[in-house]
Structure formats: C-alpha cells, structure tokens
Amino acid sequence: MTTKRFVVFDGDSHVVEPREVWETYLDPEYRTLGKSALWREEGRLGAYLKINGEMFRDTDNVNIPRCAIWRPGMTWDDIGDLDPDTRHPMNEGAWNPEARLRDMDAMGVDQTFLYPTWFAEGFPLVKDPDVAYALARAYNNWIADFCQAAPDRLFAAAMLPLQNMAFALDELHRVAALPCFCGAFIRPMFVENRYLTHPYYEPLWAELVKLDIAAAVHATPGLHNPEWTSHGPFIEKMKGRLSKRSLLGDAGGGPFAGGGGSAFTIADEPLGHSLSPILSYWLDNYLFAASTLLGYGVMNRYPEMKAVLAHGKATWMEEVLEKFEASTRVIALQHYYPVRTDAEEMWEEGKVMLGFDADERGVRKMPERYSNKVVWGSRYPNQDTMSAWEAIDLLTASNLEDAVIAQMMGGNAAQQFGIELVQAVGG
C-alpha cells in the first residue's frame, strides 16, 4: 500500500465555473453584457462556449464531459470504456468545495492550486474591458468563497482583466490582500494581436514581483476559440487536412492479395481524435518560455519574478535551453535587442518552475536536472487526472529518494506560491 511521509501540494487542478458566477457574483448591471461576452451553456443535446456574442459549439462528444469526468478510483481505461451514447454527469468536485475536499482526501492531496476552465478558454478574448473587469471580479469573488471552505488547503489563480492594464493592476492589488490568491492566471496566447513579449505587459511583470505573486501560466487547447490565439485552433484546423489513407477492397481480395485480387480504392478519412490536447499545451508553454522569459528577457529584467508553467510537461525545457543557447551565438538576435547567450545559467538562476506529470520518463531519469524546477499537478478533474498515490508509486519505482519526491510533490510548490505546507491526509 502506498504511503507518504510528506505534504502533497497539487499544483495543477481545476474548477468548472458554475452559473452562479454570472447569476450571483457578477454585478447586476453587467449580467446581460457578461453573459454575452462569456458564457458556457451545457445543454441536454449539445454544448457551446459563447465569446463576444459568438457561439463556438463543442465538437467533442458532450455525453462525456472531458473537463470533469474523472473521480477517485477511476483509471484512464475506465474513462475510455464509458458508453459514448449515455450522458455522464460531471464530477461535483469541480464546483463544490466540500466534494472537492473529499476527493482530495481520497487522492492523497493535502493542498491544491485551482485554475479556471471556461474562463481560461474564453476570458482573454472578451473585447469590452469594462465587462472583462466585472467578470474578473465575479470569478475572483466566487473562487475566494470556494477556498474559504478550507483556507489552509485551497488556493487559487486570480483572473486579471488584461484587456486594460490599469484595471488588471487594480484587480491584482485587490486580490493580493486575500490569502487564497498566490498566483495570477496568464494564458500564453495572442490577445489583440499582442503576444506576452509586447511592452504592454511590462507593468504586469513589475507588479507581480512587487507583490510577490507568482505568474500562474497555464495553456489551454483553445478548441472553442477563434483562429490564431494559440496553437490549439491551428492544430485542429490542420487536423482536418490530415487523414488516414485507407485501402478499401472487398473481402475476397485487396491490393495485397495474390493472383489478381479484387479492385480497391484509396480513401481519405479524417483523424478520429483531437490532436490539440496532445500537442498544444507544451507548444504554447514552449513558445512562452523561449520568447517571453528567455528571448524577450523577462527573467533577466525581473530575476525575482516567480512563475509556474503548468500543464505542459517539463522535459521539453532541456531542448529549449540547448537550442536557444546555440542559436543566440549564431543568429543576430542582438541586432534587435540585447539577449543573454547563457540561457542555461539564466534558467538555473531564475525563479521559474514547470508543471510535470509523474509519468514523464525524462524527469524521473534526470532528477538532478529537474527536482528543484518542477511542480506536480494532478489535472483534476480532467479525463487524464492522476492521483497523488499513483504519482508517488511512479516516482518511488524510479528509485527517487523520499526527500526528492517530497520536493517535487510539495516543497517546490510551497516555495513558488509562498504558502505553508499543511498535511491533511495521512499515509
């Protein structure tokens, strides 16, 4: 039986925003505008995300809500075996704090950091800055109340209305006074044709350092977003141009049958699964780390800034550092602005960590490179959730010492988010 002798902090879990965010927490004068700017509808026969009055309908099977289908005790195979023709309910722990705490106990998780779901997908694209500000306040007030159910166990990323930097800084100062907020949500994407390398964001980096709040960077596939916000929509568009080339013939022959078999045709069939959740997370994090932190020099100008790049695995960072350090010696990036060529040293000196999955072979095989740079996340209640017990088993089987596992599963997160570790679940 798996045991743990240390505190587990889940650095990547999610809530699914309930209707009361809009219907109770949103200021009354903004409720109509707020539902037009951003709204999630879970209908009996379909679902859509509304952004700026435009509907983006789900292309996945709505009978299996992948964002909140996992429950303690389920395996990934169990989820894969669900009947796609039967409507399966979401896990109540996605929006109910009491249910969440019960699930955390069952998972072996003592404390957790909460990211949004539909606000992550749609909020950065809200066009009206006043409505965005009102929506941010509503979400932050709701999640603050959610965390009040267990203030020493539940922590959250704050939404910032980056559509107007003055509004964003005002909201950052407001939430900084609330103990549950130890990170500010940032999605690595293009907003209004500006990426996070734009000087527009400079006051944000400075204020995060001043307030000692981590940049909680979390990609999302963007399946319900317009084109060119992140890698996700592009990958899905490309998927439609990819296909399986199928050889079709009758049962008596085929192209490889001997002796003049029957006729056959070659048919194009679209890929039967979504590529975005496989590729877009790490591609978006890859771009943010290479362009914003290293290339644009945010880590150099703000060496005290803390950041966590969640839900994108961690082992790609070695490739980024290797390629970046080689390229800055042969490509004249310095002609545009000064770039440090010692990317690896800058990374080691910086206060940036990566979210990791316990099944990442590279992390387990090279703990000397990753153990002080990673934060474990369960991804609860998404379809690919992993419990702390499973994560500990995988790390232990890789012959990692308890002290190293404790650091990767909790100590690093406490350092990054500035919280005190509290053990709530025994071994």
Q: What is the pLDDT of residue 106?
A: 97
Residue 337: pLDDT band (50, 70, 90) is low
Contact partners, residue 61, CB within 8 Å, separation at least 6: 84
State whether CATH 2.30.22.10 applies to domain 9-31+92-229+277-417: no
Is 395 in contact with 364 (CB distance < 8 Å)? yes
Of the ranges 10-24, 292-306, 308-322, 357-371, which is most confident? 10-24
Taking 80 as the threshold, does the pLDDT of residue 223 lie above it?
no
- Looking at residue 89, what DSSP letter applies? P
Q: Where are the beta strands (DSSP E) in 52-153?
A: 54-57, 111-115
- Mean local confidence (pLDDT), 285-295: 91
Q: What pTM, to 2 d.p., does this model score?
A: 0.91
Helix (H) or strand (E) holding 79: helix 76-80
| pLDDT value, residue 133 | 98
Q: Taking residues 349-357, what's their average pLDDT?
A: 94
Distances (CA, A) of 170 to 108, 126, 179: 37, 18, 17
Domain ranges of the chain: 9-31+92-229+277-417
Mean pLDDT of 238-264: 52
Which amino acid is present at 415?
A: Q
In tens, the pLDDT along 374-424 reads: 999 999 999 999 999 999 999 999 999 999 999 999 999 999 999 999 999
Question: What mean pLDDT is reported for the chain?
Answer: 89
